[in-house]
């Protein structure tokens, strides 16, 4: 069974640009969530989607947005990039919502903003 | 709000020894899940073990076990017979019910474990 696939793996963007990251969950998983990992702030929750609906959102500005398609694939968009958006962006999928369901992560997209 | 505290930024352990990684948590949710993840230098987060707040028994998965002490709000990870491949960052995380199970995971800062031959 294929794991969570994130594309691209590495990305370099210029300040002010926008970027779209993609995540394909494990087959059969309907929940996809996104996390930002930085050395200073650690791992922070961005948002979670279930059946194409955003279920929850972390404390991030509106420049960060996402969506989920009918096949459960998800995209995350960051507009007007800032230097501080440089981070490892991790996507995770779960078979369903619920506090006990484990999340399986992809290898991440490392975004560098210059 | 939930909080995870991992007090060991780094640990050096001899190969084949057992190692305990500390994790304490704070939450007002009546029900919650506790998780441990391993992150090698490649960046991928690898799920290791899960403990539900109402589980009576401590969770075990192969060489991993979770020492769950609910009254003390601790969920320490124990790795038995450590191997060189265990060298990685280890994160403790939790999710509560207040968001209908759709809360994101709250992570600790992590412990960098280095296994020495």
- Burial level of B55, CB count in 10 A (0-12/13-18/19+)? middle
Q: Do residues A6 and A106 lie in contact, with contact meaning Cβ atoms separated by under 8 Å?
A: yes
> Above 70 in pLDDT, residue B102?
no
Find tokens 């391993």 and name the residue.
B38
- CB nearest A48 (choices: B37, B42, B104): B104
- CB nearest A43 (choices: B97, B102, B107): B107
Q: CB contact, 8 Å: A107 with chain B?
A: yes
> Which candidate, A12, A15, A1, places its Cα nearest to that of A81?
A15
Residues A80-102, mean pLDDT to the nearest whole number: 90
Contacting residues of B for A90, CB less than 8 Å apart: 43, 45
Separation in Å, CA of B59 to nearest CA in chain A: 13
> Above 70 in pLDDT, residue A99?
no
> Above 70 in pLDDT, residue B100?
no
Higher pLDDT: A97 or A19? It is A19
């Amino acid at each position: 069974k294929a794991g969570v696939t994130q594309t691209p793996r590495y990305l370099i963007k210029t300040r002010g640009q926008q970027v779209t990251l993609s995540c394909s969950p494990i087959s059969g998983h309907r929940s996809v969530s996104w996390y930002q990992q930085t050395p200073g702030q650690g791992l922070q929750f961005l948002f979670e989607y279930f059946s194409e609906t955003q279920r929850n959102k972390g404390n991030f500005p509106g420049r960060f947005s996402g969506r989920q398609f009918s096949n459960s694939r998800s995209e995350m968009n960051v507009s007007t990039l800032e230097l501080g958006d440089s981070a490892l962006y991790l996507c995770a999928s779960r078979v369903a919502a619920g506090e006990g369901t484990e999340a399986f992560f992809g290898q991440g997209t490392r975004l560098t903003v210059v | 709000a939930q909080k995870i505290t991992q007090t060991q930024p780094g640990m050096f352990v001899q190969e084949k020894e057992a190692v305990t990684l500390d994790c304490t948590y704070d939450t007002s949710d009546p029900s919650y899940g506790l998780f441990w993840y391993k992150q090698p230098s490649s960046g991928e987060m690898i799920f290791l073990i899960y403990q539900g707040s109402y589980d009576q028994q401590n969770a075990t998965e192969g060489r991993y076990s979770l020492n769950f002490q609910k009254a003390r709000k601790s969920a320490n990870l124990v790795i038995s017979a450590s191997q060189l491949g265990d060298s990685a960052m280890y994160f403790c995380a939790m999710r509560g019910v207040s968001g209908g199970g759709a809360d994101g995971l709250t992570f600790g800062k992590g412990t960098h474990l280095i296994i020495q031959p």
